[in-house]
Amino acid sequence: MTLTIAITSDFICPWCLVAETRLNQAIAQLNSAVEIEYLWFPFELNPQMPAAGMDRKAYRTGKFGSWEYSQGLDAKTVQATQADGINFRYDLMSVTPNTLKAHRLTWFAGNQGKATEMTVRILNAYFTEGRNIGNVETLATLAAEIGIDAAQVKAFLESEAGIQEVKDLEQQAIAQGIHGVPAIRIGREIISGAQSVEVFLAALQQAVNELAKA
Identify the pLDDT of residue 177: 86
Q: How far apart are CA 148 and CA 5, in angstroms?
A: 24
The answer to whether 60 and 94 have CB atoms below 8 angstroms apart is no
Alpha helices in the chain (DSSP H): 14-29, 56-64, 67-80, 100-110, 115-129, 136-145, 150-157, 163-175, 197-213
The answer to whether 19 and 80 have CB atoms below 8 angstroms apart is no
Residues 6+ apart with CB under 8 A from 55: 94, 95, 96
Ordered per-residue pLDDT tens for the chain, 214 residues:
999 999 999 999 999 999 999 999 999 999 888 999 999 999 999 999 999 999 999 999 999 999 999 999 999 999 999 999 999 999 999 999 999 999 999 999 999 999 999 999 999 999 999 999 999 999 999 999 999 999 999 999 999 999 999 999 999 988 988 999 999 999 999 999 999 999 999 999 999 999 988 8
Domains of the chain: 2-213 (3.40.30.10)
In terms of Cα–Cα distance, which of 29, 30, 31, 7 is closest to 20? 7
Burial 85-96 (b: 16+ CB within 10 A, else e): ebebebeebebb
Q: How far apart are CA 20 and CA 33, in angstroms?
A: 20
The answer to whether 13 and 185 have CB atoms below 8 angstroms apart is no
Q: What are phi and psi of 190, to 5 degrees?
A: -110, 120
Q: How far apart are CA 136 and CA 141, in angstroms?
A: 9
